[in-house]
Amino acid sequence: MLPNLWKGRRPVSMIRAMTGPAREIPPFVRMEGDPATGYLLLCDHASNHVPAGYELGLPASEMRRHIAYDPGAEAVTLALAGRLHAPAVLSTFSRLLIDANRGGDDPTLVMRLSDGAIVPGNARVDAEERARRIRRFHAPYHAAISAAIDEAMRAGFPPALVSIHSFTPVWRGKQRRWHAGVLWDQDPRLALPLIDGLAADGALVVGDNEPYAGALANDTMYRHATRRGLAHALIEIRQDLIADAAGAVAWAERLEAIFRTLAGIPGLHEIRHYGSLAGPVDPIYPPDSDAA
User: What is the pLDDT confidence band of residue 22, given thresholds at 50, 70 and 90?
Assistant: very low
Domain count along the chain: 1
Is a pLDDT exceeding 70 seen at residue 30? Answer: yes
What CATH number does residue 217 fall under? 3.40.630.40
Residue-number span of the structural domain to which 194 is assigned: 14-262
Is residue 268 one of the residues assigned to a domain?
Answer: no
Q: What is the distance between the alpha carbons of residues 219 and 110, in angstroms, rounded to a whole number?
A: 14
DSSP 199-219: HTSTT--EEES-SS-S--TTS
Q: What is the distance between the alpha carbons of residues 132 and 145, in angstroms, rounded to a whole number?
A: 20
User: What is the separation, in whole angstroms, between the first and last Cα of the chain?
Assistant: 32
Is a pLDDT exceeding 70 seen at residue 287? Answer: yes
Q: What is the distance between the alpha carbons of residues 89 and 7, in angstroms, rounded to a whole number?
A: 20
Q: What is the DSSP letter of 9?
A: P
Looking at residue 80, what is its pLDDT?
Answer: 98
Of 109-118, 153-162, 225-234, the poorest mean pLDDT is in: 109-118
For range 74-86, the mean pLDDT: 97
Q: What is the distance between the alpha carbons of residues 28 and 176, in angstroms, rounded to a whole number?
A: 31
Is residue 23 one of the residues assigned to a domain?
Answer: yes
Is residue 221 one of the residues assigned to a domain?
Answer: yes
- Could you give phi then psi for residue 180, rounded to 5 degrees? -155, 160
* Helices vs strands, H then E, count in the chain: 8, 11
For range 90-107, the mean pLDDT: 96
Asked if residue 114 lies in contact with residue 122, where contact means CB atoms within 8 angstroms, the answer is no
Is residue 288 one of the residues assigned to a domain?
Answer: no
Is residue 174 one of the residues assigned to a domain?
Answer: yes
**Residue type at 233?**
A
pTM: 0.92
Is residue 183 one of the residues assigned to a domain?
Answer: yes
Is residue 125 one of the residues assigned to a domain?
Answer: yes
- Name which of 27, 13, 282, 2 is nearest 137 in CA terms: 27
For range 180-205, the mean pLDDT: 98
Angle at 267 between CA 184 and CA 190, to 5 degrees: 25
For range 219-248, the mean pLDDT: 98
Looking at residue 12, what is its pLDDT?
Answer: 52
Is residue 230 one of the residues assigned to a domain?
Answer: yes
Is a pLDDT exceeding 60 seen at residue 21? Answer: no
The beta strand positions in the chain, using DSSP E, are: 28-31, 39-43, 88-91, 113-114, 117-118, 160-167, 170-171, 174-175, 180-183, 206-208, 232-238
Q: Is 28 exposed, middle or buried (0-12, 13-18, 19+ CB in 10 A)?
A: buried
Query: What's the 3-state SS for 220-250?
Result: HHHHHHHCCCCCEEEEEEEHHHHCCHHHHHH
How much of the chain, in percent, has pLDDT values that exceed 70? 90
Mean pLDDT (the chain, rounded) = 91
How much of the chain, in percent, has pLDDT values that exceed 90? 83
Asked if residue 38 lies in contact with residue 262, where contact means CB atoms within 8 angstroms, the answer is no
Is a pLDDT exceeding 90 seen at residue 117? Answer: no
Query: 117-118 and 28-31: which strand pairing?
Result: unpaired
Is a pLDDT exceeding 50 seen at residue 85? Answer: yes
Is a pLDDT exceeding 80 seen at residue 39? Answer: yes
